Structures are given as structure tokens and as C-alpha cells.
């Protein structure tokens, strides 16, 4: 059997296994070890699964993962974000669709305090969602807002996805993070523009808040703005020492987690229950990610052993004989396609190592590509049949929101994301300007 065929078969089997609804790490891991046994038998086929565990242990940036997850849960469980939400509520409520706009603002701030999307999802669906539904907002619109907004968590720094990408592409994390700022804000602005336009045309989608809810004394209104300070402080305690080189990346993530924890304690929000929930959920989610990465590393090693990198290169450059831009576009498309099925961490570990070297060889800037890559990942995270948001939304959303609603809700936002992707592709400066400016990169 040719190697290409085996590789294709592996992918197909994995997809099939995933469809059965077995736990993702089981599906990926099983295919990996079976393939290894089949290919290498007793000459090492048995060891491959475990040696991935040793590889994982040495992959130091993964240490940031539990830290960011913990941070996210502390922020969401302790309801520190409630004040933030109230701030947006009062300030934006007077506009058509104002609460939805405010929710996007909230998501941007949460994203700046966290490296993943999970926190945003949790906060959005527990705090914002019920409020918005109560105020008569269109349920599809708000479900979409929360899913799209929370996905900004991996584009706006800090970002775990960009850290892992940095390791694979061997690009500086600091610059990658900075590169995510403008596209992140741009995307948020585009979401807002979408909301404004929709609600302008059809005001029932996002009714204006009743006057009595908005007529709050001016002083009180200003006081609410103070809620915005906290995210800035947490963002700064994490980013300033890191960007200045005083602390390393993993240390910064621990400092961020500690800062969030202390903030909750100081605000008197760290009740026993909050503590319990944050600690327990952190374990659950960390384990989920780690076991998936463990399996995906084994899968990737077999893939690598099959020479998949060369096969892909050969396919794009020799066999199809395409121009660099065509290849890039095809890669993004296939990423999105695979992303609908695959979990984004698994995709990062399995697919990125195949593509990134090729992108470099074609002469594209890998910092810029990191942003393209992340936006694609965001899309993957959103699109059915597989995505964490779908999984989480199901678990957290009130019963009146059906699976069909969840699926339908994302369509316009995915369209906006694709538009953002195209914009960053056409105008690389959107991503590269800030890091160049800050690091004065030639």
C-alpha cells in the first residue's frame, strides 16, 4: 500500500470514528496506534503512543494551557465580568441592538484577559445570554454574537493558539500576539457593524432598552465605567513583564492566573462554590485538551513518518503546479473544511506542521500567516459538525435554543470572519503593522 493511500485512509478512519460520537481523543489515538502497529509492528509500533506522552511533557508552552483555563474559569465563575456587563448594558442599551454590541465589547475585554475561547463562551452564555433573551433580542442573533465574540479569545492577545503556532512555525510569540491586536479589533468592529445594520433594518431583532432601565444618574453611570479598569490591570500584569522580557511566557501565564484569582478574592467573590467550580472545571478542560493533544501528537508522528509533509508539498507544487497564492488560498480552504470536522487543537498538532513549512518556503511572512491561520481556526471552532462552541452552547444555553438555532446562528458571523480573512490576506499590513512598529522590525 502506498504511503499516500495510508495517510488518506488514516484521515478517513479518524473522521468516521469521530462521527460515532466517541470521545475525540479516543478516536484520534486509536487510529494513530493502529496505524503505527500496522506500519511498524513490533519494531516500535507499540511505543509510539507513549513516546508522544514524553514529547508532550517536554513541550513547555503547554504549561500555559492550564493557567489560562484556570484564569478563564475564575473570571467567569466569580462573576467579575458581571460588572463589565452592567457597564456595557447601561452605556449601550439605548441603541438598537445595543446590548449585542455591548456583548461584543465584553468579549473583546475578556479576550484580552485570556488565551482561549472557553472563558468567553462561559461568560457569554451565563451572563449575557439570559439578559439578552429577557430583553426580547432575537435568539439566533444573540447566540451567534456570543459564539463569534468568544472566538476572539484566540486572536486578541494573549492567545494559546498563537503560542502553539509560534512553536510550530518558529516565530516570536510576542510579535504574533501583537499581530493579532488590530485584526482582532477589526473583526470585533465588523461584528458590530453587522449587528448595527441588521437591527437598523429590522429593529425587533434588538429592541432598545426601556427608558427606566437606562435613566440612571450620571454619576452612577460614570462609576460603572470603573469596571473597565480591572481587565486592563490583569492584561497589564501579564503582558508588560512578558513584553519587556522580565518574565518568560509560562511564568507570565501563571502570573495572570494569580492576578485573576487575587482580583476575585479582593472583590469578595471567591466563595467556596466559586473556588470549587473553577478548580474542578479547570481540571476537566485541561484534561480534555491534554488527552487530545497526546493522541494528536501520536497521530502526527505516524503522519510524519509517512512523509506526509513531502506528499503535500509535492501535491501542491509539482502535481498541481500552482502559483504561491493559489496554494495559500487552497490551504486556507482545506483548513476550513477540515476544521469543520476536526477539533482545533488536534488540527493544530496534525495539520499545521504539514502546512507551515510550505508556507515559509513559498516566501510568505509567517507572522502574517499566523493570523490567517488563527482566523481559520476561529472559523473551524464555530462551524458544525464539530466545534467547542457547539458543545458548550448545548451544555449552557437555555432549552428554548435548539441545536438548529445554534447551527443557524453562526452563518452570518462566519461570513464576516471570512471577509476579515480576505481583508487580512489582501492587506497584510493589518496584521504586520503593529509588531513592526513596536519591535521596529526591518
38 makes contact, choosing from Na ion, other proteins, none, with CB < 5 to 8 Å by partner type, with none
Among 91, 242, 355, 373, which residue sits at the site for other proteins (rule: CB under 8 A)? Answer: 242
54 vs 333 by CB, closer to other proteins: 54
418 makes contact, choosing from Na ion, other proteins, none, with CB < 5 to 8 Å by partner type, with none
Element (H, E) at 45: none
380 binds Na ion (CB under 5 A): yes
Select the span of 43-51, 129-137, 198-206, 262-270 touching other proteins (CB under 8 A): 43-51
37 makes contact, choosing from Na ion, other proteins, none, with CB < 5 to 8 Å by partner type, with other proteins
142 vs 346 by CB, closer to Na ion: 346
Kindly report the backbone phi and psi dihedral angles of residue 393, in degrees, each rounded to the nearest multiple of 5, phi listed first. -55, -45
Beta carbons of 119 and 73 less than 8 angstroms apart: yes
Among 126, 247, 317, 334, which residue sits at the site for other proteins (rule: CB under 8 A)? Answer: 247
286 binds other proteins (CB under 8 A): yes
Q: Is 46 left (phi over 0), alpha (psi -120 to 50) or beta?
A: alpha
Shortest CB 100 distance to other proteins, Å: 27
With the C-alpha atoms ordered 177, 178, 183, 187, is the resulting torsion angle positive or negative? positive
Q: How far apart are CA 372 and CA 423, in angstroms?
A: 10
303 binds other proteins (CB under 8 A): no
The set of long-range contacts for 228-233, using a CB threshold of 8 Å and a minimum separation of 24, is 228/84, 228/87, 228/109, 230/80, 230/83, 230/84, 230/263, 231/84, 231/109, 231/110, 231/112, 231/113, 233/259, 233/263
Alpha helices in 117-156 (DSSP H): 118-123, 129-134, 139-151
Instruction: Restricting to residues 86-145, name those near other proteins by CB under 8 A.
Output: none
Q: How far apart are CA 404 and CA 408, in angstroms?
A: 6
54 binds other proteins (CB under 8 A): yes
167 makes contact, choosing from Na ion, other proteins, none, with CB < 5 to 8 Å by partner type, with other proteins
Among 86, 95, 228, 305, which residue sits at the site for other proteins (rule: CB under 8 A)? Answer: 305
User: CA geometry: angle at 183 spanning 177 and 186, to 5°?
Assistant: 140
Beta carbons of 52 and 60 less than 8 angstroms apart: no
Instruction: Restricting to residues 3-32, name those near other proteins by CB under 8 A.
Output: 17-27, 29-30, 32
The total of other beta-carbon atoms located within 10 Å of residue 191's CB is: 26
Shortest CB 131 distance to other proteins, Å: 27
Select the span of 45-53, 77-85, 331-339, 370-378 touching other proteins (CB under 8 A): 45-53
Q: How far apart are CA 257 and CA 413, in angstroms?
A: 30
280 makes contact, choosing from other proteins, Na ion, none, with CB < 5 to 8 Å by partner type, with other proteins
Shortest CB 283 distance to other proteins, Å: 4
51 binds other proteins (CB under 8 A): yes
245 binds other proteins (CB under 8 A): yes
262 binds other proteins (CB under 8 A): no
Among 155, 224, 390, 397, which residue sits at the site for other proteins (rule: CB under 8 A)? Answer: 390
Instruction: Restricting to residues 148-167, name those near Na ion by CB under 5 A.
Output: 153, 156, 159
Shortest CB 180 distance to other proteins, Å: 16
Q: Is 339 left (phi over 0), alpha (psi -120 to 50) or beta?
A: alpha
Among 94, 271, 304, 333, which residue sits at the site for other proteins (rule: CB under 8 A)? Answer: 304
302 closest CA partner among 362, 257, 350: 350
Instruction: Restricting to residues 168-227, name those near other proteins by CB under 8 A.
Output: 170-174
111 binds Na ion (CB under 5 A): yes
Shortest CB 231 distance to Na ion, Å: 11
Among 387, 388, 424, 425, which residue sits at the site for Na ion (rule: CB under 5 A)? Answer: 387
Q: How far apart are CA 28 and CA 11, in angstroms?
A: 9
55 binds other proteins (CB under 8 A): yes
Number of residues that bind other proteins (CB under 8 A): 90
350 closest CA partner among 79, 3, 14, 6: 14
Sequence-ordered list of residues with C-beta below 8 angstroms from that of 399, at least 6 positions apart, any chain: none
188 vs 260 by CB, closer to other proteins: 260
69 vs 199 by CB, closer to other proteins: 69
Q: How far apart are CA 347 and CA 228, in angstroms?
A: 35
Q: How far apart are CA 194 and CA 184, in angstroms?
A: 15
Shortest CB 361 distance to other proteins, Å: 11
List residues binding Na ion (CB under 5 A): 111, 153, 156, 159, 340, 380, 383, 386-387
Amino acid at each position: 500500500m502506498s504511503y499516500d493511500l495510508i495517510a488518506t485512509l488514516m484521515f478517513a478512519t479518524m473522521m468516521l470514528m469521530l462521527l460515532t460520537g466517541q470521545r475525540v481523543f479516543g478516536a484520534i489515538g486509536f487510529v494513530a496506534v493502529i496505524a503505527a502497529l500496522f506500519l511498524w509492528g513490533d519494531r516500535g509500533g507499540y511505543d509510539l503512543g507513549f513516546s508522544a506522552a514524553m514529547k508532550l511533557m517536554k513541550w513547555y508552552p503547554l504549561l500555559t494551557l492550564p493557567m489560562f483555563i484556570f484564569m478563564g474559569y475564575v473570571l467567569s465563575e466569580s462573576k467579575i465580568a458581571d460588572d463589565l456587563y452592567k457597564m456595557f448594558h447601561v452605556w449601550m442599551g439605548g441603541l438598537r441592538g445595543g446590548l449585542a454590541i455591548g456583548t461584543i465589547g465584553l468579549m473583546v475585554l475578556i479576550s484580552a484577559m485570556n488565551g482561549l475561547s472557553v472563558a468567553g463562551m462561559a461568560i457569554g452564555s451565563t451572563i449575557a445570554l439570559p439578559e439578552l433573551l429577557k430583553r426580547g433580542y432575537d435568539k439566533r442573533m444573540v447566540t451567534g454574537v456570543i459564539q463569534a465574540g468568544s472566538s476572539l479569545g484566540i486572536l486578541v492577545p494573549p492567545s494559546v493558539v498563537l503560542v502553539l503556532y509560534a512553536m510550530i512555525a518558529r516565530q516570536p510569540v510576542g510579535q504574533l500576539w501583537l499581530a493579532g491586536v488590530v485584526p482582532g479589533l477589526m473583526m470585533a468592529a465588523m461584528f458590530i457593524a453587522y449587528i448595527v445594520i441588521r437591527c437598523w433594518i429590522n429593529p425587533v431583532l434588538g429592541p432598545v432598552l426601556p427608558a427606566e432601565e437606562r435613566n440612571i444618574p450620571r454619576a452612577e453611570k460614570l462609576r460603572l465605567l470603573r469596571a473597565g479598569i480591572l481587565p486592563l490591570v490583569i492584561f497589564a500584569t501579564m503582558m508588560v513583564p512578558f513584553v519587556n522580557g522580565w518574565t518568560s511566557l509560562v511564568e507570565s501565564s501563571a502570573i495572570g492566573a494569580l492576578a485573576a484569582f487575587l482580583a476575585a478574592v479582593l472583590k469578595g467573590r471567591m466563595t467556596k462554590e466559586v473556588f470549587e467550580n473553577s478548580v474542578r472545571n479547570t481540571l476537566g478542560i485541561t484534561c480534555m485538551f491534554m488527552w487530545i493533544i497526546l493522541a494528536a501528537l501520536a497521530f502526527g508522528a505516524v503522519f510524519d513518518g509517512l512523509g506526509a509533509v513531502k506528499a503535500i508539498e509535492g501535491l501542491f507544487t509539482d502535481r498541481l503546479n500552482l502559483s504561491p497564492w493559489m496554494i495559500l488560498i487552497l490551504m486556507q480552504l482545506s483548513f476550513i473544511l477540515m476544521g469543520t470536522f476536526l477539533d482545533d487543537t488536534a488540527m493544530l498538532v496534525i495539520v499545521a506542521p504539514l502546512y507551515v513549512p510550505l508556507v515559509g518556503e513559498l516566501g510568505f511572512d509567517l507572522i502574517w500567516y499566523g493570523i490567517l491561520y488563527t482566523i481559520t481556526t476561529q472559523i473551524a471552532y464555530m462551524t458544525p459538525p464539530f466545534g467547542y462552541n457547539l458543545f458548550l452552547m448545548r451544555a449552557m444555553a437555555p432549552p428554548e435554543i435548539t441545536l438548529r438555532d445554534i447551527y443557524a446562528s453562526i452563518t452570518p458571523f462566519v461570513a464576516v470572519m471570512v471577509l476579515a480573512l480576505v481583508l487580512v490576506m489582501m492587506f497584510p499590513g493589518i496584521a504586520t503593522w503593529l509588531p513592526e512598529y513596536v519591535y521596529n522590525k526591518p
